[in-house]
Amino acid sequence: MANRPLSPHLQIWKWGPHMAVSILHRVSGDGMAIVGLGVLLWWLGALAGGPEAYETFHTHASAWYGKVVLIGLTWAFFTHMCSGLRHFVLDLGAGYELDTNRTWSVISMVGGVVLTAVFWALILLA
């Protein structure tokens, strides 16, 4: 066995918003890839399948459980976008100070929720 340094265990790290936003970034990306792709393929298949197939899709998409899925996908999109913008700024070399990183991590998570709420308010109230 080589004598090389080991990575610190999770008990050593202090939990912070930067860790949460990193996990949410991965979860939202995977959610969009798996669930979003399924919904997109179903929608495209319904469009190609004719009026009856599209009516079936529309019935499920406009039901309460369909709206939950669509709102969840919207939240995943906006959360992933806000987190991606935060990572872009970090890649530019800015925002590594602890307080700044913590602040932008919280703003990123809150921004995903606020943008989702505004988006769906515009859709449902228009």
Known binder of ligand: residue 25? no
CA angle 57, 59, 65 (to 5 degrees): 95
Write out the DSSP string of 23-70.
HHHHHHHHHIIIIIHHHHHHHHHHHHH-HHHHHHHHHHHHSHHHHHHH
DSSP 97: S
Q: Is 5 helix (H, G, I), strand (E, B) or coil?
A: coil
Residues at the annotated binding site? 80
Binding-site entries for heme? 80
